[in-house]
Every structure is written in structure tokens, then in C-alpha cells.
Chains A and B, each alone.
Chain A
Amino acid sequence: MTVTLNHCLGLAAVIFVTGMAGFIVRRNAIVMLMCIELMLSAVNIVFAAFARQHADAGGHVFVLMNFAVAAAEAAIGLAILVEIYRRRRTVDVDELKTLME
């Protein structure tokens, strides 16, 4: 079987929706961060697939940039989360309600 563009897009769509559903359903902050990473990975697949399709390097460059930014975002997210965990002893977003009225 040859892998076509549509296969790649289908795979990406499944991963993206999985990440989205996970983000909405799960309440554990770390799992939610992982779900965002999942969605970004799906985006990378789409970029790589289209880069191949168009025989253009721009998509690959985008994927590399995406790695860097996703790593920075995870680092910042975890750093803030550690600070929250120290004070509140929980990473459940439903418990983080200091700001709700």
C-alpha cells in the first residue's frame, strides 16, 4: 500500500481530534498540556505532508520552529504548574478556582 496525502491528513485529523477531546474532557493540568502537544504533533504531520506534496522546504522549516516553540511552551507551563502545586498540592484544574467568582 502506498501512503498518500490523504492518509497523512487522515492520521493528523485523528490525532488532532484526540488531543482536542482530551483537552476538553480531562481535568489534570499535565494531561491537558500533553493534549496540546498532541494537537501540535498533528499540525506537524500536516505540514510535513504538504511540504512533500508541494516539494517545498517551507513546511519542514515550519515543523522545526514548531518543535522549538512547543518545547518553550511546555517548559513555561510546567514551571508555573510546579509553583501552583507547591501552594495548592493539586494539579486538577477544577480545584484551581481562586479566580472564579
Chain B
Amino acid sequence: MNGFVAPSVGGQLDVLLPYLVVAVGGLAIMLVDALVRTRRRDHLPFLTLLVLLGSVLAQLARSGGEEREILAGMMTVGDYARYFNLLFAGCGVLTTVFAGAVLERDGRGRPEFYPLLLFSILGMMVLAAASDLLTVFLGIETMSLAVYVLAGGVRGDVRSSEAGFKYLLLGGFASAFLLMGMALLYGFAGGTAFSDIAGALAAREGDLGLAMLGGGLVLVGFAFKVAIVPFHMWTPDVYDGAPAYVTGFMATAVKAAGFAILVRFAWLMQPQLAFVWYPVLAGLAVVTMTVGNLVALAQSSVKRLLAWSSIAHAGYLMLGVVTLISPATGGSAQMVLGREVGESAGSALLFYLLAYSLMNLAAFGIVASLGSREGEADDIERYAGLSRRRPVAAAVLAVAMLSLAGIPPLVGFMSKFYLFSAVVRAGLVPLAVIGVINSLISVYYYLRLLVVMYMKKPEADGYAGHEPLAVGAAAVLAGLVLLLGVVPDGVHRAALVVFRQMSF
């Protein structure tokens, strides 16, 4: 045993603390639920909120800044990971509030919901900090496995089970491609660390064809998670079948996590391989937003409408990734101008993800609150006259819809403005034009819901669910949507600083 030295975590404990809090907190809540047998389970959401709050505090307590590698290069923590961790924690808090209110109303015991929510957040946090293929894989699977159960675990609800199973089947299929891509990248680079891959790419040693195929397959895996056409088939069914509070979480946190790793991966592979993927991804971005918006026009179910809208938004976000790896950023670190274009695209992406999470969570929160024990508020016609029955809920939903449509002065407009101006700066004017035309199309279906809520006569069977807590939380989000739309500068500048800290 002489000469054995265990790898030390000393000096890394402070940066690991947010992760440990969430992991240990999730396990503790499982134990608490097993040991404390009460009929009402009000304490579980409170404990979950405490854990998330603890994680946020641990996150903020440490001075951030430059990225640094921890755990022998498995993870890279810095402001980038911190930005996403705070976003995930925020989505988790809102989801806990919505779920707590709805589960209470429906009288469903779902004690496994809260630990699983925390575990999926842990997976996302690992994913946002991953700098090794192994951590990417473990992060994405920890997140996905938990979300499969969140979506499919409503006992006695066959729609939920079906959604969960569909998600799992197609998710597993996509994971197999992701893994095969990782195996090929490993074969190319001889190591699983991002630095190994970057080094092998820079030295142009090994079989570049292997790297291209492997990287492409990995991108397919990520594209599935964030619902890029043609890997989007699961989205409408799963978003529809899962309960609304889970759908809100999937549409925001899971998507943000997918883009967190997609951006890091694209930025890593950009210098050498961009010329192959750039046209492909540009095409996919255009197809994704166009298909998402056109199909959303024909929806009569609110959850399906939001599902297709989330596909369209994935297309806009993909436009940012395309700009990031476009020839204009040419070899990222080398050119000053290229670096600038890359940074404006990267910060626009970060800002967009935050904005999108705010408005989408507000929308799903209201949808969740309007349901009842009999079913969820899904049929668009039964929203008629909502402004008279539930004025606050209708107003919040209206703000969320207007923001999703990109109407000033809401945050949805500012995020699109930053994104499209980065696209134009990179010289990709046609892509920006297609993006703007797409947002114009989207105004139609977002406004349709508004018209139904405010101008149609109320019907007898209209939705009238009322959850003061959920509506209140959604109203706070709507306030933020308005606030960040009017004064976006501070957050946008912070996003710019965050992206600048990313080393590669």
C-alpha cells in the first residue's frame, strides 16, 4: 500500500458544495419521507425549497470568476457553470411551487417527485460543468432518467405513463447514438477529456473522419434532448401527456441544460470542424423554427401549442449556436473580431435561455393552476372568457404569450433582439431574416390564445381552477419578464462576462 495517494478534494470542497447540497438533500428527503409517516406531505416541498436555496447560497458564497478544472479535469467550474446552476435552481423552485399546489389540489401523493426533481437538477448541474465525455454522459443520464419518471410517474394516469415511456424509448435510442459518438471521439483522441479532444484536433493527429462522425453522433444526441427537428417527434406527445408542472420543467431546465453542453461542445469543436457542421446545423435551425411555428398554428391543445412553440424556440437558440461556430468567429481564440462575434452570440444565447425560462414557466404555471382534479386545462376553446373568471391568471398568461411572441417591451423581444443582432454581426443576414419572419408567424398563434381569453364569451365548461400560490409565483415571473424587458442591460452584460470566462 506504499505510495498510495487518494486524489484530494481539498481546496475543491467550496466549489463542490452546491452539487453536494443538492445530492445529499435529495437523498435526505427520500429518507425523511420514508421515516416521517404523516397523511399530509406538506413538508416535502418546503424541504425541497430549502435544499435549492442552500445550493444557491453555496453557489453565491464563493467568489466566481475564471474557470478552473476540478476532480482531475472531470468538471470545469466557473461563472458559466454558475450561471446555469442558478437558472436550474430557479426552475426547480418554481416547479416545486407549482407541483406542490397542484398535487395538493388533486389529492395525489407523489412523494418521489421531489427527490427526483433534485436528482435531475443535479444531473443538469453536472452537465453544465462537464469537461469530460464521461461527466457529459453521467450528467445527461442522471437528468434524463429522473425526468422520465417525473413525466411518466403519475400513478393511474395512462397518458402520463405513455408519455414517460415514449420519452424513455426515444431517449434511450438517442443516448445510444450519443454514446456511439463518444466512443468514436474517444477512439480519435485517445482520451475522454475535452482537453484531450481539443489537443488531438489542434495537432490534427489521428483520423479526422472518426472525429467528424463521432462529433456528429454526439450532436444528434444533444439535438434530441433540446428537440431539434428531425429529432423532435417525442416532444408534442410527451409535453402533452406529462402533467403541466413537469412539462414546464422539461421545456425550460432540460432545454437549458441541453444547450449548456451543446454550446460548450460546439465551442470546443469549432476551430477545426466547424466547416462540416456549420451548414448542417444552419439548415436544421431554419427547418426547426419553421416546422415548429407552422405546426403550432394548427394546434387546438394549449400544451401541444406550447410544445411546438418550444420546438420553434429551440430553432432560434440553434441559430445562436450556428453563429457561434460560423466562419465569422474563425478559430475562436485567434481573431479579435471573431472572438467578439462569438461572445455576442454566446451571451445572447445565455440571455435567451433565461428569458425563455421565465416566460415559459409563467405560462405552464398558469396552465397547471387552471386544471382540476378531472383533468388539465388543455382545450384552447375552454379558455374563452378567462379574463372575466380569473383576471390575474389571464393577465399573467397574456404577458407570457406576448413575450413568447417577441413583442416589446417584454423580455422575449429583447432576447430575440440580442440574438438576431449577433446573427447579423456574423454576416448571416439571410438566417436573421428567416428568424424574424418566423417570429412574425408565431405572433398569430400566441395572440389566438389572447383573443380567446379576452374577447370570446365565457362558456359553462370553461376552466376555472384557482391556485393562489401558483398564480402568485407565475405573476412574479411575469413581473420579471416585464422588468428584464425594460432594463435588460445589467443581466445581458453579466451574461457577456460569464461567456468571456469560458476558456478554450
- How near does chain A come to B285, taking the closest CB pair, in angstroms? 26
Number of B interface residues in the complex (CB < 8 A): 40
- How near does chain A come to B4, taking the closest CB pair, in angstroms? 16
Given contacts A54-B190, A83-B155, A84-B158, contact A76 B168 (CB under 8 A): yes
Partner of A46, one of B183, B240, B304: B183
Q: Which residue of B lies closest to A83 (CB)?
A: B161
Chain B residues contacting A40 (CB-CB under 8 Å) are 175-176, 179
Tell me the B178-231 residues at the A interface (CB within 8 Å).
179-180, 182-184, 186-187, 190-192
Given contacts A43-B179, A61-B134, A88-B158, contact A80 B165 (CB under 8 A): yes
Chain B residues contacting A50 (CB-CB under 8 Å) are 183, 186-187, 190
Chain A residues contacting B182 (CB-CB under 8 Å) are 43, 62
User: B241 in the interface, Cβ–Cβ < 8 Å?
Assistant: yes
Chain A interface mostly: helix
Partner of B180, one of A42, A49, A61: A42
Which segment of B137-145, B250-258, B420-428 sits at the interface?
B137-145
User: A10 in the interface, Cβ–Cβ < 8 Å?
Assistant: no
- Counting chain A CB atoms within 10 Å of each CB, the highest count among B153, B169, B172 belongs to B172
Chain A residues contacting B183 (CB-CB under 8 Å) are 43, 46-47, 50, 59, 62
User: B125 in the interface, Cβ–Cβ < 8 Å?
Assistant: no
Query: Once bound together, how far apart are the Cα atoms of A50 and B158, in whole Å?
Result: 43
User: B312 in the interface, Cβ–Cβ < 8 Å?
Assistant: no
Query: Once bound together, how far apart are the Cα atoms of A76 and B150, in whole Å?
Result: 11
Chain A residues contacting B145 (CB-CB under 8 Å) are 69, 72-73, 76
Chain A residues contacting B179 (CB-CB under 8 Å) are 40, 43, 66
Tell me the A23-70 residues at the B interface (CB within 8 Å).
23, 29, 32-33, 36, 39-40, 42-43, 46-47, 49-51, 53-54, 56, 58-59, 61-62, 65-66, 69
Q: Is the CB of B180 within 8 A of A16?
A: yes
Query: Once bound together, how far apart are the Cα atoms of A76 and B134, in whole Å?
Result: 22
Query: Once bound together, how far apart are the Cα atoms of A9 and B169, in whole Å?
Result: 25
Query: Once bound together, how far apart are the Cα atoms of A42 and B133, in whole Å?
Result: 18
- How near does chain A come to B68, taking the closest CB pair, in angstroms? 21
Interface residues in chain B, defined as those with a beta carbon under 8 Å from any beta carbon in chain A? 133-134, 137-138, 141, 145, 148-149, 152-153, 155, 158-159, 161-166, 168-169, 172-173, 175-176, 179-180, 182-184, 186-187, 190-192, 237, 240-241, 301, 304
Given contacts A29-B165, A43-B179, 5 further A-B contacts (CB under 8 A): A36-B173, A43-B182, A59-B183, A77-B165, A77-B168
